[in-house]
Amino acid sequence: EETIPERGAPYVNESDFRDCDGLILGSPTRFGNMAAPMKYCIDSTSSLWMSGAMIGKPASVFTSTSSLHGGQESTLLSMMLPLMHHGMLLMGIPYSETTLLSTQSGGTPYGASHTAGNDSKQPITDEEKRICITQGRRMAEILLRLEKQT
C-alpha cells in the first residue's frame, strides 16, 4: 500500500492532471479554505497553466466540514479559483436537483459537501448522497457530450 509522502502531491502528479478528461477535486475545509495539502498540490500545476494543458476540461469540487456553517461554500470557491485560472469549465450542481432546496446538512450549488460533525463521525445523509450522485452523474454526462463533439 502506498503511503502519503511527507511533501508533494499525495495522490496525483502532473501527468495525471494533464491526461485527465475531467477533474473533480475534494478537500476538507480548513478555516473556510481548502486544506494545505490540496493547495500545495494545485500550486504545483504552474507548468500546466503555462502550457494551457487544462483549458476546456470540465471541473468540479466537493468538501466536508465539521459544522453546518463551517465554510463549505468558501472552501468550494477557493478550490474553483485556480481551476478558472487554468481555463477549465467549472461545473456546479443545478437547482434541478431539488434536494438543494431542502437540505438540512451539506450540499450547495457550488459542489457537494458533507457535514461530518465535530468528531468527524457523522455519516453521510441521504440528501448529501443524492447531491454527490447528481454531481458525479453530471460530470459523466458532460464528458460524454464533449467526447461526441471530438
Report all structural domains of the chain as residue ranges with CATH numbers, in order of start.
Answer: 14-149 (3.40.50.360)
Cell digits of residue 106: 451539506
> What value does the mean pLDDT take over residues 134-141?
97
How far does the chain reach from its first CA to its final CA, in angstroms? 38
Contact 39, 46 (CB under 8 A): no
CB 75, CB 125: distance < 8 Å: no
Give yes or no for a contact between 106 and 66, defined as CB atoms under 8 angstroms apart. no
The yes-or-no verdict on residue 3 having pLDDT over 70 is no
Residue 81 neighbours by CB under 8 Å, 6+ apart: none
pLDDT digits (tens, 9 = 90+) for 30-66: 999 999 989 988 998 999 999 999 999 999 999 999 9
For cell 478550490, name the residue.
Answer: 79
Task: Look up residue 62 and give its three cell numbers.
Answer: 466537493
C-alpha to C-alpha distance for 102 and 128, rounded to whole angstroms: 11
Task: For residue range 16-25, list pLDDT tens digits in order.
Answer: 999 999 999 9
